[in-house]
């Protein structure tokens, strides 16, 4: 077996509770890949980092392993968090093909750990769990960048027992959520069991194991979904809409199929009608060795999936993070524009006749919020993408049931006229946060208090 040229690089997302080490892990993956740069240079993309398979197998100390794998490497989305995971969509569902759920081994499961696992279950995304911060276990003797087992075997019996106990607490938590799991080196069947890898994102212990297991998961579960046609018109997802000096509004995009070229006409999802525009420039980060103060980017003529690229084009102001980006031709422009429009507008969320009103910044995050509210059996009257507007306030202020004259906003702003209106409208209660479980907890606490007051 060898790398299969018809398969693109799998896209990986890092999820988990705040402070459990997502950013540090991504930094470590980037940094260690740079340090091992002799094998195959790591490439920095816009919004993502690609670790080629050569680096991974070299890091594991056995370059011949390369022949065992069929994917060219792994592309890590640089934005951590489950919000990124749910917001960034592809036609098939989540943009990320694989995920890492990180949990602090000393702290155990926290609300965002659980939320991440629920989301992965729903999307049926293959993932590994990493039990991070093993270097914080009392008496741990660190072994920089070594594999987990090599390091574990060097620890005292007491430290090993301490790690084992904490580790099996995590296995127990996973079991309570309906997942069978086992330490990664003991998992016989990844179809039935989730591999858990003890690591330290600071010392690098266990990182090579994480990369190897991800390659293995891609091999086992993704062969059918990573097929792409390099020469077909590009299809991607907007990661971020950004103002850049001298370029105006640009969109950082992950391309997951086909090719995109300078001069191509693209259709980009927005809250109103989709944007149709022509690519002025395609930009990638400049290699580290060439960075000049003003020039962060270099222009390229074309890029092929899977890749992160910045697109500069006129009229991108209304582009929506998480929305589709499609290369079109005169023959396909109408049909694809209609498709993109319906993808954004028809978030077919079944709403109830009475219930709370919710707003979120992207289609994906709206869906995630709806799912979590449903789990709590909180009815939803209306679910929309976009900031909180004057109209929302007016509508909600007319609701008679005090439990539901509520707006729950996830990662959204309150528009200026809505802000004014809110100050004079005491009937409407607004909850806003960028963490779903906090929003839901806040609403539940409030509803409980309202109930007590009413009694
Ligand atoms: P995030 O919120 O999940 O992105 O978490 P961060 O990556 O920002 O990490 C939160 C804190 O934990 C930071 O102070 C990190 O330096 C620290 N941290 C992360 N991973 C480790 C680890 O493996 N060992 C130790 N000792 N500290 C860590």
pLDDT digit string, tens, across residues 3-57? 778 889 999 999 999 999 999 999 898 875 554 444 455 667 888 999 888 888 8
Closest CA to 325 of 271, 386, 275: 275
Q: How far is the CA of 24 from the centre of ligand 1 (A)?
A: 5
The SS3 of residue 455 is coil
State which of 201, 204, 210 you would mutate to test the pocket of ligand 1, scoring each by most atoms of that ligand within 8 A of its C-beta. 201
Check: CB of residue 251 under 8 Å from CB of residue 237. Answer: no
**Token digits for 272?**
């109103």
133 is in an annotated binding site: yes
pLDDT at residue 114 in the model:
93
Strand order in the sheet with 73-77: 43-44, 48-52, 73-77, 11-16, 98-104, 127-132, 193-198, 180-183
Tens digit of each residue's pLDDT (9 = 90 or more) over 298-322:
899 999 999 999 999 999 998 988 8
Torsions phi, psi for 30 (to 5 deg): -60, -50
pLDDT at residue 148 in the model:
97
**Token digits for 8?**
């693109």
pLDDT at residue 38 in the model:
44
Q: Which residues of 106-120 are buried (b: 16+ CB within 10 A; e: fewer)?
A: eebbbebbbbbbbbb
Range among 173-182, 285-294, 434-443 with highest mean pLDDT value: 173-182
**Ligand 1 pocket check for 84: Cβ under 6 Å:** no
**Ligand 1 pocket check for 20: Cβ under 6 Å:** yes
Q: Are strands 307-312 and 281-285 parallel, antiparallel or unpaired?
A: antiparallel
Check: CB of residue 153 under 8 Å from CB of residue 141. Answer: no
Residue where the block lists tokens 């998480």: 322
Tens digit of each residue's pLDDT (9 = 90 or more) over 130-167:
999 999 999 999 999 999 999 999 999 999 999 999 99
Tens digit of each residue's pLDDT (9 = 90 or more) over 185-235:
999 898 899 999 999 999 999 999 999 999 999 989 998 888 888 899 999
The number of angstroms, rounded, from the C-alpha of 1 to the middle of its chain's C-alpha atoms is 30
In the chain, the percentage of residues whose pLDDT exceeds 90 is 56
pLDDT at 278 exceeding the cut of 90: yes
Which residue lies with its CA nearest to atom 2 of ligand 1?
A: 19
pLDDT at residue 345 in the model:
65
**Ligand 1 pocket check for 131: Cβ under 6 Å:** no
Instruction: Please give, one letter per residue, the 3-state secondary structure of 26-50.
Output: HHHHHHHHHHCCCCCCCEECCCEEE
**HSE of 434, CA atoms in CB hemisphere, 13 A:** 12
**Token digits for 125?**
């995304």
Q: Are strands 356-360 and 380-385 parallel, antiparallel or unpaired?
A: parallel
**Token digits for 225?**
């979904």
Instruction: Please give, one letter per residue, the 3-state secondary structure of 341-382.
Output: HHHHHCCCCCCCCCCEEEEECCHHHHHHHHHHHHHCCCCEEE
Q: How far is the CA of 437 from the centre of ligand 1 (A)?
A: 21
Residue where the block lists tokens 């103002």: 243
Rounded distance, CA 397 to CA 145, Å?
A: 58
**Ligand 1 pocket check for 198: Cβ under 6 Å:** no
Check: CB of residue 145 under 8 Å from CB of residue 207. Answer: yes
Q: Please report the sign of the dihedral spanned by the C-alpha atoms of residue 385, residue 391, residue 395, residue 396.
A: positive
**Ligand 1 pocket check for 250: Cβ under 6 Å:** no
How open is the CA angle 218-222-224, to the nearest 5 degrees?
Answer: 150
Per-residue DSSP letter, 388 = B
State which of 21, 151, 199 you would mutate to test the pocket of ligand 1, scoring each by most atoms of that ligand within 8 A of its C-beta. 21
- The DSSP annotation for 63-75 comes to GGGGGG--S-EEE
Ligand 1 atom closest to residue 201's alpha carbon, by position in its atom list: 23
**Ligand 1 pocket check for 398: Cβ under 6 Å:** no
pLDDT at residue 64 in the model:
79
Reported ipTM: the value is 0.99
> What phi-psi label fits residue 310: left (phi over 0), alpha (psi between -120 and 50 degrees) or beta?
beta
**Ligand 1 pocket check for 22: Cβ under 6 Å:** yes
**Token digits for 300?**
């390229």
pLDDT at 336 exceeding the cut of 90: yes
pLDDT at 348 exceeding the cut of 60: no
296 is in an annotated binding site: no
81 is in an annotated binding site: yes
State which of 18, 19, 146 you would mutate to test the pocket of ligand 1, scoring each by most atoms of that ligand within 8 A of its C-beta. 19
204 is in an annotated binding site: no
Mean pLDDT over 99-114 rounds to 96
Rounded distance, CA 102 to CA 114, Å?
A: 11
21 is in an annotated binding site: yes
Check: CB of residue 203 under 8 Å from CB of residue 50. Answer: no
384 is in an annotated binding site: no
pLDDT tier at 346, thresholds 50, 70, 90: low
Mean pLDDT over 93-98 rounds to 91
Residue where the block lists tokens 């899977």: 306
State the CB neighbour count (10 A cutoff) for residue 280: 17
Q: How far is the CA of 186 from the centre of ligand 1 (A)?
A: 27
Check: CB of residue 12 under 8 Å from CB of residue 97. Answer: yes
132 is in an annotated binding site: yes
Check: CB of residue 157 under 8 Å from CB of residue 130. Answer: no
């Amino acid at each position: 077996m060898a790398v299969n040229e018809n398969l693109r690089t799998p896209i990986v997302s890092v999820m988990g509770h705040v402070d459990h080490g997502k950013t540090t892990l991504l930094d470590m993956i980037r940094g260690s890949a740079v340090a091992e740069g002799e094998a195959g240079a790591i490439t920095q993309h816009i919004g993502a980092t690609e670790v080629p398979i050569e680096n991974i197998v070299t890091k594991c100390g056995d370059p011949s392993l390369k022949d065992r794998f069929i994917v060219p490497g792994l592309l890590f989305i640089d934005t951590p968090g489950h919000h990124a995971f749910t917001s960034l969509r592809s036609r098939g569902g989540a943009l990320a093909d694989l995920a890492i759920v990180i949990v602090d081994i000393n702290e155990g499961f926290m609300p965002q750990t659980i939320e991440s696992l629920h989301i992965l279950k729903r999307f049926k995304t293959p993932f590994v769990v990493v039990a991070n911060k093993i270097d914080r276990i009392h008496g741990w003797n660190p072994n920089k960048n070594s594999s987990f087992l090599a390091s574990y075997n060097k620890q005292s019996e007491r430290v090993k027992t301490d790690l084992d106990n904490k580790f099996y607490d995590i296995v127990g938590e996973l079991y309570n959520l309906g997942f069978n799991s086992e330490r990664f080196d003991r998992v016989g069947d990844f179809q039935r069991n989730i591999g858990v890898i003890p690591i330290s994102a600071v010392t690098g212990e266990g990182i090579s194991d994480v990369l190897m297991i991800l390659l293995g998961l891609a091999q086992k579960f993704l062969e059918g979904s990573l097929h792409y046609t390099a020469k077909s018109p590009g299809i991607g997802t907007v990661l971020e809409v950004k103002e850049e000096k001298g370029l105006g509004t640009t969109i950082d995009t992950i391309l997951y199929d086909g090719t995109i070229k300078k001069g191509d006409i693209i259709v980009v999802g927005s809250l109103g009608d989709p944007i149709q525009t022509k690519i002025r420039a395609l930009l990638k980060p400049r290699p580290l060795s060439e960075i000049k103060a003003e020039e962060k980017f270099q222009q390229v003529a074309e890029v092929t999936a899977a890749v992160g690229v910045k697109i500069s084009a006129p009229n991108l102001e209304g582009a929506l993070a998480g929305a589709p980006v499609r290369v079109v031709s005169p023959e396909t422009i109408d049909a694809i524009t209609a498709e993109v429009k319906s993808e954004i507008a028809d978030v077919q969320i079944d709403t109830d006749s009475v219930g709370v009103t919710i707003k979120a910044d992207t289609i994906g995050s709206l869906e995630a919020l709806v799912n979590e509210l449903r789990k709590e059996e909180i009815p939803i009257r209306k679910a929309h993408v976009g900031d909180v507007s004057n109209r929302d306030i007016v509508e909600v202020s007319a609701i008679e049931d005090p439990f539901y004259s509520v707006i729950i906003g996830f990662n959204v702003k309150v528009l200026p006229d809505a802000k004014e209106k809110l100050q004079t409208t005491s009937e409407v209660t607004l909850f806003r946060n960028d963490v779903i479980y906090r929003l839901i907890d806040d609403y539940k606490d409030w509803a409980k208090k309202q109930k007590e007051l009413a009694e």
